[in-house]
Amino acid sequence: MFLLMRLELAERLVCPAAHVRTPLIVIAEETQDRELLRGTAGCMVCMREGRIRDGSLRFVAAQEGAAVTSTTRRDDLRGAGVGVAIDDDQLFRLVALLGLGEAGLPVLLAPSYAAAASPLVERQEAMVVVFGVDAAGPRGVAYVSGCHDAVPFADGSFHAAALDETMGAAAAADAVRTVRVGGRVMAAAAMPLPPRLRELARDAQHWVAEVEAPAVVVPLRRA
């Protein structure tokens, strides 16, 4: 079974630009079962647009004053873990740390975990999004790129996320926002914990943490 950008996830896309969080309007050109193969995702507020090809989403640079993206290019994919094999022990560890006991859960992966994307789709039927890598395929994985420090998904879209240092602090914090409250986030031990995480465990390689509810600002009411 090949899963591409699942419609469940496409429906949760939000604009990565710095304005009020706004759902993207997705126009599907080609779908297959519950998978979106080809289409366009656009923002009605700032007209930012993303192209969906082979189930992967790449945001087009905004016309003027566009910041240079920190997206990992195809040339860097080997370093990013694409095409690098992951062994069973590593995969088992990842599944355990991310709490992917059930099949079919949505997972966000940073570039250095890209090698795990296909195995997670094949073994766990996970819905996998790899952030910050401009690539199409291997089939079954949605790559999302061209969106700088913003992870273009609504709050709580993912069951779990694996972060890395290539994301930077802003992108890491935004990734935490896209994981549901109580969901798992993990990263290499050297990476500082982004806000809103409660550390659950740590060893020489990784830490794993749980997403806490966002702080609620209670407005003071005038008597």
The nearer residue to Zn ion, 16 or 39, going by C-beta atoms, is 16
Q: Which two tokens stand for residue 45?
A: 């507020």
CA atoms within 13 A on the CB side of 197: 28
Rounded to 5 degrees, what are φ and ψ at 187? -160, 170
* Member of 36, 43, 109, 162 binding Zn ion (CB under 5 A): 43
Residues ≥6 apart with Cβ < 8 Å to 202:
189, 208
Q: Find the shortest distance in angstroms from Cβ 11 to Zn ion.
A: 17
Q: Find the shortest distance in angstroms from Cβ 16 to Zn ion.
A: 8
| Residue 46 found at the interface with Zn ion (CB under 5 A) | yes
**Region near Zn ion per CB under 5 A, out of 28-36, 45-53, 71-79, 108-116:** 45-53
Distance, CA of 213 to CA of 218 (rounded, Å)? 14
CA atoms within 13 A on the CB side of 116: 27
8 Å CB contact between 131 and 109: yes
| Residue 24 found at the interface with Zn ion (CB under 5 A) | no
**Region near Zn ion per CB under 5 A, out of 42-50, 59-67, 180-188, 208-216:** 42-50
| Residue 148 found at the interface with Zn ion (CB under 5 A) | no
* Member of 3, 15, 80, 185 binding Zn ion (CB under 5 A): 15
Instruction: Spell 15-43 as b/e; 16+ CB within 10 A means b.
Output: bbbeeeeeebebebeeeeeebbbbbbbbb
Total of residues contacting Zn ion (CB under 5 A): 6
The closest alpha carbon to 74, from 64, 82, 63, 62, belongs to 82
The nearer residue to Zn ion, 43 or 185, going by C-beta atoms, is 43
The nearer residue to Zn ion, 51 or 206, going by C-beta atoms, is 51
| Residue 44 found at the interface with Zn ion (CB under 5 A) | no
| Residue 60 found at the interface with Zn ion (CB under 5 A) | no
Q: Find the shortest distance in angstroms from Cβ 132 to Zn ion.
A: 19
Q: Which two tokens stand for residue 46?
A: 């700032």
| Residue 167 found at the interface with Zn ion (CB under 5 A) | no
Contact positions toward Zn ion, by CB under 5 A? Answer: 15, 17, 43, 45-46, 48
